[in-house]
Amino acid sequence: KAGVTQTPRYLIKTRGQQVTLSCSPISGHRSVSWYQQTPGQGLQFLFEYFSETQRNKGNFPGRFSGRQFSNSRSEMNVSTLELGDSALYLCASNGDAGVALINNEQFFGPGTRLTVL
């Protein structure tokens, strides 16, 4: 069974640009979560999607957005990039059957390393 794939793995952008990151979950998984990981703030929740619907979001500005497609693949977009957006962006796939995530296992992808210059 293939794991979670994220593309691209590395990305360099300049301030003011926008970026789109992609995540393909494990086959059959309908829940996809996104996280931002930085040395200073740790791993922070961005948003979670299930069957194309955003069910929860973290405390990030509106420049961070996401969506999920009918095949469960997900994208996140960051507009008007700032230096502080440099981070490892992780996607996690969950076999959630539609109920709360308690006891469920998240499977993480390797992440996309975004550098903003």
Partner 1 sequence: TQLLEQSPQFLSIQEGENLTVYCNSSSVFSSLQWYRQEPGEGPVLLVTVVTGGEVKKLKRLTFQFGDARKDSSLHITAAQPGDTGLYLCAETSGTYKYIFGTGTRLKVLA
Q: Using CB under 8 A, which of 31, 68, 72, 74 touches partner 1?
A: 31
Residue whose CB is less far from partner 1, 44 or 79: 44
Q: Does 4 bind partner 1 (CB under 8 A)?
A: yes
How many of the chain's residues bind partner 1 (CB under 8 A)?
29
Residue with tokens 């700032």: 82
Q: Does 35 bind partner 1 (CB under 8 A)?
A: yes
Residue 49 contacts by C-beta under 8 Å, 6 or more apart in sequence? 31, 32, 33, 55, 66, 67, 68, 74
Q: Using CB under 8 A, which of 19, 78, 90, 114 touches partner 1?
A: 90
Q: What would you report as the CA-atom Rg of the chain, rounded to the nearest whole angstrom?
A: 14
Q: Does 12 bind partner 1 (CB under 8 A)?
A: no
How many Å apart are CA 106 and CA 117, to the nearest integer?
Answer: 32
Tell me which DSSP letter residue 84 carries. G
Phi, psi of 84, deg, nearest 5:
-70, -5
Q: Does 56 bind partner 1 (CB under 8 A)?
A: yes
Query: Least separation, in Å, of the C-beta of 17 and partner 1?
Result: 25
Residues that bind partner 1 (CB under 8 A): 4, 31, 33, 35, 42-45, 48, 50, 55-56, 58-59, 90, 92, 96, 100-111
